């Protein structure tokens, strides 16, 4: 770890630290992140169990880990109304966002209507509670944008997680005020178009950093289990794309994240 990395002030907006992939070294993972300059880590939920688990983890690391509450689209089934009714009682003063929520028609549209309704219910939660959204979207941007338009004037902002699209898709998503694009390891992949798309279509104040750990590890650690310490590779590539020093890119993305999620300084 270089002195430059240790002096960075980074925030990982998306890590599944509750996953069993971290059961053997969760504390060490947090420590490595801190040593790499990652000051805060935001934890998305995918169902009731993970919502509870990340809430407990965040209480163990106050001021470092921050929990969300949400039902992931791939976890939506016929019982989604009952699940959401139970999940709505899990919000507390710790909760920084509604997420990870959204639409995913990549593998199947079997539960399309259920996903649409579940997402809209959770958008309603965000509106009522004035919380940002952590949004997952695959092969469903038209449908997702259609739902968000209905609440556009009342949304409290959020992040479009794991953005990997083109300039037109970026412009459509960023037409929603208060939202940013979550940029992760894909930025570093050899065939990624993001290094060209970002400076062309996305102002620096509309991006945040994420790992999506344990998934999507960046180059040069692609193929390993991902973790927040690897955020340094993503911010380095992002700084190169925008043509600014890495410290400046770290500062900008951290300010963006604090603003969206109303995190302490």
Give dist(CA 191, CA 58) in Å, integer.
36
User: E strand or H helix at 234, and its extent?
Assistant: helix 231-242
- Give Cβ neighbours of residue 256 (< 8 Å, ≥ 6 apart): 180, 205, 206, 207, 208
For 41-86, the pLDDT digits (tens) are 999 999 999 999 999 999 999 999 999 999 999 999 999 999 999 9
The β-bridge relationship of strands 10-12 and 207-209 is unpaired
Q: Give this prediction's pTM.
A: 0.97
Beta bridge partners of residue 134, listed in sequence order = 99, 159
Report the pLDDT value the prediction gives residue 6, as an integer from 0 to 100: 52
Report the pLDDT value the prediction gives residue 7, as an integer from 0 to 100: 79
Half-sphere exposure of 207 (CA within 13 A, CB side): 29
CB 40 within 8 A of CB 209: no
CB 182 within 8 A of CB 162: yes
Average confidence (pLDDT) per 10 residues, the chain, 265 residues: 65 98 98 98 98 98 98 98 98 97 96 98 98 98 98 98 98 98 98 98 98 98 98 98 98 98 94
């Amino acid at each position: 770890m270089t002195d430059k990395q240790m002096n960075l002030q980074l925030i990982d907006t998306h890590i599944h630290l509750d996953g069993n992939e971290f059961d053997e070294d969760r504390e060490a993972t947090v420590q490595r992140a801190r040593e790499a300059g990652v000051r805060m880590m935001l934890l998305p939920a995918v169902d009731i169990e993970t919502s509870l688990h990340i809430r407990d983890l965040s209480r163990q690391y106050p001021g470092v880990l921050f929990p969300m509450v949400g039902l992931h689209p791939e976890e939506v089934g016929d019982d989604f109304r009952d699940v959401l009714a139970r999940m709505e009682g899990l919000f507390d003063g710790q909760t920084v966002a509604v997420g990870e929520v959204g639409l995913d028609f990549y593998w199947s549209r079997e539960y399309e209507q259920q996903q649409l309704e579940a997402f809209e219910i959770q958008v309603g939660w965000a509106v009522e509670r004035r919380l940002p959204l952590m949004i997952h979207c695959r092969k469903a941007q038209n449908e997702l944008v259609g739902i968000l338009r209905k609440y556009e004037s009342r949304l409290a902002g959020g992040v479009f997680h794991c953005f990997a699209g083109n300039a037109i898709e970026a412009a459509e998503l960023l037409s929603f005020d208060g939202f940013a694009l979550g940029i992760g390891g894909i930025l570093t992949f050899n065939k990624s178009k993001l290094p060209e798309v970002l400076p062309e279509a996305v102002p620096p104040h509309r991006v945040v950093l994420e790992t999506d750990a344990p998934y999507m590890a960046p180059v040069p650690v692609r193929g390993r289990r991902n973790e927040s310490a690897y955020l340094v590779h993503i911010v380095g590539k992002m700084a190169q794309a925008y043509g600014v020093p890495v410290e400046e890119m770290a500062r900008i993305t951290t300010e963006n994240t604090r603003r969206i999620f109303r995190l302490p300084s």
